[in-house]
Amino acid sequence: MQINLITGISGSGKSVALRAFEDAGYDCVDNLPVSLLENLITTLEDEKCERVAVAIDARRGQSIENLPSILENLRRLHQVRIVFLNANTNTLVQRFSETRRRHPLSSNAQQSQSATLIEAIDKERQLLEPLRTQAHSIDTSNIPAHALRSWIQDLLKDKPLGLTVVFESFGFKNGVPSEADLVFDVRCLPNPHYDKILRPMTGNDKPVKEFLEKIPEVISMEGDIIQFIDKWLPHYIADGRSYLTVAIGCTGGQHRSVYLVNRISEHFRAQKDLVNLQLNFLDRHRELDSISATVL
């Protein structure tokens, strides 16, 4: 059975992610107590269920500490993937303020509402940290619901086994993605933003590509990043990871980082010697996905 555990910080989009799994044909269960997970899987086995997505959070406190050992037991018989949704504290506070909902862990706090909310978020991060370190993490701070659904759909296309390498472009002005394992800063490269014709375009557009590929520093940066990943990728595979996120950032996340993510991803997808390593590749453009989702 393919078991997908959806967890993470409250307010980061677990409900949106679960609906994406449901739309993809998965049997879905929301807010399941940790103690019932193994019983649920046993029941679904009897019903010949092949794919399930389960959302679990920390609202039941210390019982979440038992989850890593439960997942270890399930992995002996099933394919288990953890999707961890995260967001920065300021974004979470804003979302709870807009929805006027209470944080699941704030009911016993005795301080003011704003202090209680931040306190509850910090507590939840502590409780869920053991899960975050073994999960595919997605930072939803700067992406709307539509983009998150799209990212989940892309995730469901990859193979269940092997290492999934995520190449993600971003803009430093909106912060570094919290899920990034490797971060490359390309703000030192010439910026197409200062060309009035290229400014409204992106790194996906031919004129921007032609502009950047003529600059020796851009070609050199591309080669250096590829060389670094080439050297260390076998070590990440040997470490037993399921996901590796390579984040490439420029100022706005529109031109240089998008171009380099596309180029570097194309390079690794074309490497025939990597086929036997069960590598899967995903591309994300955080800022562009946010813009397109807002328009839609």
**What six digits make up the tokens of 139?**
């930072």
Instruction: Please check whether residue 71 is in contact with residue 80, taking contact to mean a CB–CB distance below 8 angstroms.
Output: yes
Cα dihedral 87, 88, 89, 94 in deg (nearest 10): -70
Collapsing DSSP to helix, strand or coil, 86 comes out as strand
Which residues, in sequence order, are bridge partners of residue 51? 2
pLDDT at 112: 44
Q: Are strands 279-285 and 163-171 parallel, antiparallel or unpaired?
A: parallel
Q: Residue 69 carries which side chain, given as an amino acid letter?
A: S
Across 56-60, 74-78, 277-281, which has the greatest mean pLDDT? 74-78
Percent of the chain past pLDDT 90, that is, above it, reads 59
Q: pLDDT per residue over 135-167, tens digit each?
A: 899 999 988 888 999 899 888 886 556 788 999
Instruction: Please check whether residue 169 is in contact with residue 253, taking contact to mean a CB–CB distance below 8 angstroms.
Output: yes
Q: Are strands 182-185 and 79-86 parallel, antiparallel or unpaired?
A: unpaired
Mean pLDDT, the chain, whole residue set? 88
Q: What are residue 295's phi and psi, to 5 degrees? A: -65, -40
**What six digits make up the tokens of 85?**
């949704």
Output the pTM of the full model. 0.70
Core vs surface per residue 46-64: b (16+ CB within 10 A) or e: eeebebbbbbbbbbeeeeb
Residues 6 or more apart in contact with residue 61 via CB below 8 angstroms: 105, 127
Q: Is the pLDDT of residue 239 over 50?
A: yes
**What six digits make up the tokens of 59?**
């609202």
| Cα radius of gyration rounded to whole Å, the chain | 20
pLDDT at 113: 46
Burial class (CB in 10 A: 0-12, 13-18, 19+), 225: buried
CA-CA distances (angstroms) from residue 21 to 14, 128, 152, 193?
Answer: 11, 21, 8, 38
pLDDT at 110: 43
Cα dihedral 192, 195, 198, 204 in deg (nearest 10): -10
- Consecutive H or E run containing 191: none
Q: 116 vs 42, which has greater pLDDT?
A: 42
CA distance 153 to 114: 35
Query: What residue ranges define each of the domains in the chain, with the CATH number in brackets?
Result: 2-155 (3.40.50.300), 163-295 (no CATH)
> Distance between alpha carbon 35 and the CA centroid of its chain, in Å?
27
| Mean pLDDT score, 18-45 | 92
